[in-house]
Amino acid sequence: MTAKKTDARLSAKDKKRLASMNPEEIAELKELIEFLKENGIGEFDLERGDLKVRLKFAGAGPQVDPSHLSQLAQFAAAQHAAALQPAVVAHVHPVGAPAHPAAAASSAPETATAAAPIDDEAGLHIVKSPIVGTFYESPSPGSPAFVKPGDMVEVGQVLCIVEAMKLMNEIESDAAGEIVKRFVTSGQPVEYGQKLFAVRPR
């Protein structure tokens, strides 16, 4: 099942249409993106050098690997409809424990490796859970939290505990700076690679 490839002949008009594209107008961009979105374009590339256009409708979309995905996300609102990917890839909901933010807040895949939303976390360092377990903010019930948003932390400073197999594992900060966000609540189960804290590096 190889694809047929025939030499393309472009009419003069087509050549004109696609050839000489010159700089202008930012306002048009959003409209273009809206238009792409409306039309279910999943991918759109354009290079100027010697002009390269690539266009792909979302439905025709093969799985896009994460590195592409982040590029794509920056380029335009990617409508990512890869065939059988789970809507929520991490969905840990033990009875009695609150669902973790990714599952609770949206249906966007929360991945360990995927780029974080740029608007929230640009320039922030994310501390992730190196193990599966239960998150605790403080060394023992009732005692104060190791850290809270607004605190300044050093590299190696204990931020929290993740309990796994009855062992209390102290999670240390791998960056120095200000804690700007905690992603999980005490007692909540966390999986490998799950985001715990955002740190604004000093």
Partner 1 sequence: MFRKVLIANRGEIALRVICACKELGIRTVAVYSEADRNSLHVRFADEAICIGPPRSAESYLHVPAVISAAEIADVDAIHPGYGLLSENANFAEVCRASNIKFIGPPPEVTRLMGEKEKARMAMKKAKVPILPGSEGVIQSEGEALEWAKSVGYPVILKASAGGGGRGMRVIRSKDELPALFQAAQTEAANAFGNGDLYMEKFIEQPRHIEFQVLADQHGNVMSLGERECSIQRRHQKLIEEAPSLQVDGKMREEIGKTIRRCLEQIGYQNAGTIEFLMDEDGKLYFIEMNTRIQVEHPVTEMVTGLDLVKAQLRIAADEKLSDIVTEPVTIRGHAIECRVNAEHPEKFTPSAGRISVFNVPGGNGVRVDTAQYAEGFVPPYYDSLIAKLIVHGKDRSEAMARMQRSLEMFVVEGIHTTIPLHQRIFADAEFREGKFDTKFMERFFEREKARLTGLPD
Q: Does 134 bind its own copies (CB under 8 A)?
A: no
Distance CA(52)–CA(71), nearest Å, equals 17
Provide CB contacts within 8 A for 54, sequence distance 6+.
43, 44, 45, 46
Among 63, 67, 68, 118, binds its own copies (CB under 8 A): 118
Contact 170, 161 (CB under 8 A): yes
Q: Does 67 bind its own copies (CB under 8 A)?
A: no
Among 56, 91, 128, 200, binds its own copies (CB under 8 A): 56
- Residue whose structure tokens are 């759109």: 44
Provide CB contacts within 8 A for 188, sequence distance 6+.
97, 98, 100, 134, 135
Residue 56, binding choice from its own copies, partner 1, none, Cβ under 5 to 8 Å by partner class? its own copies
Phi, psi of 201 (to 5 degrees): -60, 145
Among 66, 67, 77, 105, binds its own copies (CB under 8 A): 77
Among 71, 111, 157, 186, binds partner 1 (CB under 8 A): 111
Among 85, 106, 107, 185, binds partner 1 (CB under 8 A): 85
Decide whether 26 or 95 has the Cβ nearer to its own copies.
26
Decide whether 53 or 155 has the Cβ nearer to its own copies.
53
Decide whether 33 or 131 has the Cβ nearer to partner 1.
131
Of residues 27 through 46, those in contact with partner 1 by CB under 8 A are: none
Residue 106: closest CA among 127, 123, 90, 130: 90
